[in-house]
Amino acid sequence: MKTSYRLLLVQFAFAAAGASAAALALPQAASAAVVVVAPGAPPPVRYEPLPPPRAGYVWDHGHWRWQGDRYVWVSGHWQVARAGYHWIPGHWVAHGPNWRWIPGRWA
């Protein structure tokens, strides 16, 4: 009986170690699948002057980000250009009574 109990503990330890390793890898994979939904429309976009062109970069304009229970403004920033692609900025889309954030991406 004691031997089978030890075997069970060893099996449990290996299973827990595997689950821990999977949990460590999960945040990287899960971060790509985060869906942001806000209960109301974002405020009007703020005007930001477009900076002068910068070789090798694309300007990603500012936008409202849903944080907790309110919108917070995120200033525009430079994205490193990818050869053969163009930048599609992130934007909010009405989704029923809520609003859903579609992240910017290269296409």
Q: Is residue 92 located within the same domain as residue 49?
A: yes
Asked if 85 and 104 touch (Cβ cutoff 8 Å), the reply is no
Q: Is residue 23 located within the same domain as residue 51?
A: no
pLDDT score of 107: 95
Q: Is residue 20 located within the same domain as residue 50?
A: no
Q: What does the pLDDT profile of the chain (107 residues) look like in tens digits?
A: 454 444 433 444 444 444 444 444 444 444 566 788 999 999 999 999 999 999 999 999 999 999 999 999 999 999 999 999 999 999 999 989 999 999 999 99
Q: Is residue 41 located within the same domain as residue 67?
A: yes
Q: Is residue 15 located within the same domain as residue 2?
A: yes
**Structural domain containing residue 1:** 1-34
Q: Is residue 96 located within the same domain as residue 59?
A: yes
pLDDT score of 19: 46
Asked if 82 and 99 touch (Cβ cutoff 8 Å), the reply is no
Q: Is residue 47 located within the same domain as residue 84?
A: yes
What is the three-class DSSP state of 107? coil
Confidence (pTM): 0.64
Q: Is residue 52 located within the same domain as residue 28?
A: no
pLDDT score of 35: 86
